[in-house]
Amino acid sequence: MKTILVTGGNGLLGSKLLAEAAGRYRLVSVDLQAGPRFGFSGMEYVQADITNAESLQAAVTKVRPDCVIHAAAYTDVDRCERERAACRRVNATGTENMASFCRSQGITLIYLSTDYVFDGKRGPYSEEDEPHPVSHYGMTKLEGEAAIRRLLEDYVIARTTVLYGYFPGIRPNFVTWLVDKLRKKETVFIVDDQHGTPTLAEDLAGMLLILFEKNTRGIYNAVGNECLSRHEFAVRTAGVFGLDASLIQKTTTDSLNQPAARPMRGGLLIQKIIRDTGRSGLSVEEGLQVVRRQMEADGAFTPEPA
């Protein structure tokens, strides 16, 4: 049985990767915390800091994985703008450390990147479009890509965006935050000038595993199959959950005064991954229905009376 090591295993994508691969692979979850937040049959856990090359090497060399899926990242875009050194240590230096480890051991590396490597002037983007980040987060993720391309031949860079989903105990994402606000009858202000391709976390996990199993190489966009504004995504979420969409008010990015610039017309095209794997990301409706079923089953969402 092949071994897959997942960095950021205690996060949303990490949890979905481990769940998707359970029973098919020997699994090793790596994160900063002293122990795992959840477990799956046959899963091992290793505490390690990817920003410390020696610590990382000592912690994971004995694992000898066939593939590393590097999902660990500093993803708070505005905080990255304020805490630039910390952001670079994780997203750039930490990724270079992981790439060096994979090179020394002859391991396949799958790296999670983002449409924030683009400026958002003419998205959605293909894998061949030239990156030009407008935020420190996007810049450090592109630096991670560059380190991998410099050090490795056996790699996949999987770009994704607007990741959402549900897993017990995981910090809120756009969908779970929005559902909570609307259930409390709170008005929310959502921008209608930022566009992206919302991606269900377990859908992304499935695409990453197929990229490994198909022995692919290079850059792939791994996202859902619809590009829409953040406001439209919010309205669609309200519809699927049977919540009051009139509470969702339009606003613009300029009005928010966010520290980090956003790629306004972002999003990613998926023709390449469909061609090479036969896998297309889910529609927004399909993905949101998955989240609703999971939240209902876990008692995290109860439909309002008709």
Task: Establish whether 137 is a catalytic residue.
Answer: yes
Where do runs of H (alpha helix) occur along the chain?
Answer: 12-21, 53-60, 77-82, 84-88, 94-105, 136-151, 174-183, 201-213, 230-241, 253-256, 271-277, 284-297
Is 87 within 8 Å of 80 (Cβ atoms)? Answer: yes
Is 202 within 8 Å of 20 (Cβ atoms)? Answer: yes
Is 40 within 8 Å of 27 (Cβ atoms)? Answer: yes
Is 81 within 8 Å of 137 (Cβ atoms)? Answer: yes
Is 144 within 8 Å of 158 (Cβ atoms)? Answer: no
Q: Pick the catalytic residue from 25, 45, 111, 137.
A: 137
Q: For the CA atoms of the chain, what is the radius of gyration? A: 19
Q: Return the amino acid letter for 81.
A: E
Distance in angstroms (rounded) separating the CA atoms of residues 216 and 198: 23
Is 128 within 8 Å of 68 (Cβ atoms)? Answer: no
Q: Give the angle subtended at the CA of 240 by the CAs of 236 and 243, to the nearest 5°.
A: 90
Q: What sign results for the dihedral spanned by CA atoms 129, 118, 206, 155?
A: positive
Distance in angstroms (rounded) separating the CA atoms of residues 66 and 287: 30
Q: What sign results for the dihedral spanned by CA atoms 205, 209, 214, 218?
A: positive
Residues serving a catalytic function are: 137
